Structure 1
Amino acid sequence: MELRPPAEPLPELFAPVRRRHPDVDIVLTPAPPGEPVETDSLDAERAATRLSGDLELVAGSVADAWAAVTGVRSEVRPAPAFGPREDTVVARARQHGRPPQPPGPALVAHLAAGWGLAAPRGETGPLVARRGRVELVATYAEGSGVLVVTATAAPVRVGVARARSLVP
């Protein structure tokens, strides 16, 4: 039997073995039929439930932060976005506009209560806060007076085809 080099490069785990032992044949076989390839992904129903809950959570997080700055609670429309891997999606919500006053103290006070607030990057850097599965980032441009508040939930593995169907 003749073994041919694979058309695709070896996965990262096997590449060092190939370099150290070029005389050893490495054969990667496909998963047997019927076995799921993504063993750690959520089943479709649980993934849909988590994503639905995350969409509500990020929308509420942005609406609360916006209300803390402007005094007005507005409707925020969340949407799924591609996650860090092609088989993941994240729930994301964003609100932007010009608040009546600079958001600094009001926003910091809001995030300091219940959020893990990271120090801003520089004087004009974004405020970054985390709470549970959600990361909230707020940026304010003094020149234009525009505040952008974005909340993103942790990635949910849904599979490549489902991710492509969910993200507009």
Structure 2
Amino acid sequence: MELQPVPDPTGDPFFDALRRRHPDVDVVLLPPEPPPADPDAVVDEDLPGAVLARVATLAEDLWAAAARDSDAVPEARMVYGDGPGAVRAASRVATRRDDGFHVLVALRHELETHGWAVTRPPGAVERIEGHLDDLTVTASYVEGTGALLFRLTSGSLTVGLDRARELTRHPGGGR
């Protein structure tokens, strides 16, 4: 990418004055960021429920394959997504196990077998992260405590502010 000096005014009084007073200084102005997604651009009314059902089923299948003897069951719900009026489906299991590392290995194998792109983020905690289309799986295991966390999330869906509040509301006033 080649930068071209622009002799014309930028339209910004601050930068125009800066360029006049310091012609020897290179000033780089980036184009403005695109506006955020229109909160009124709402997805189909039934789509969040279908995405939640898909995430719940997939999470149950992955968890059952990776932790065959587990009594824990993934809990699925809608959570806030990226930006105002957006939600995403999320399913998770938080448990304690002595064989958590083996569960991560089995989960990684299951994900890779089904075409997921799987990585191990750096750090002291054993973790894996997998991506397939708009889905993300994260799992981590802390050997000293036996804490194992598995989470599957969908991509963000714009549903509007009121609908997002309604979908993320939980019994007992929780979020």
- Settle same-fold status: TM greater than 0.5: yes
Query: What's 1:82 paired with?
Result: 80
Asked whether the equivalents of residues 89 and 163 of structure 1 are also in contact (C-alpha less than 8 Å), the reply is yes
Note the C-alpha offset of 1:76.
Answer: 2.9
Note the C-alpha offset of 1:122.
Answer: 3.4
RMSD, aligned CA: 2.7
- AA at the equivalent of 1:150: R
Query: What's 1:166 paired with?
Result: 167
Asked whether the equivalents of residues 82 and 88 of structure 1 are also in contact (C-alpha less than 8 Å), the reply is yes
Query: What's 1:26 paired with?
Result: none
> 1:76-107 deviations in whole A, cap 9, x for unaligned?
33111111212101111111213452323212
Query: What's 1:130 paired with?
Result: 131
Answer with 120-129 or 75-84: which moved more.
120-129
1:113 aligns with 2:113: yes
Note the C-alpha offset of 1:75.
Answer: 4.1
- AA at the equivalent of 2:42: L
Asked whether the equivalents of residues 48 and 157 of structure 2 are also in contact (C-alpha less than 8 Å), the reply is yes
Q: When the two structures are aligned, how many residues end up with a matched partner?
A: 136
- Whole-Å Cα distance in 1 between the matches of residues 54 and 165 of structure 2? 22
Task: For residue 52 of structure 1, give the secondary structure of its aligned residue in structure 2.
Answer: helix
Change in 2 beyond 3 A, CA 1:108/1:165: same
Specify every segment of 5 or more residues in structure 1 that has no aligned partner in the other structure, as ranges. Answer: 1-15, 23-36
- AA at the equivalent of 2:140: T
Specify every segment of 5 or more residues in structure 2 that has no aligned partner in the other structure, as ranges. Answer: 1-9, 18-36, 170-175
Change in 2 beyond 3 A, CA 1:138/1:39: closer
- Whole-Å Cα distance in 1 between the matches of residues 85 and 145 of structure 2? 37
Change in 2 beyond 3 A, CA 1:38/1:105: closer
Answer with 65-74 or 111-120: which moved more.
65-74
1:64 aligns with 2:65: no
Note the C-alpha offset of 1:110.
Answer: 1.2
90, 93, 100: which one aligns with 2:91 = 93
Q: TM-score, normalised by structure 1?
A: 0.68
Note the C-alpha offset of 1:160.
Answer: 1.3
Change in 2 beyond 3 A, CA 1:158/1:104: closer
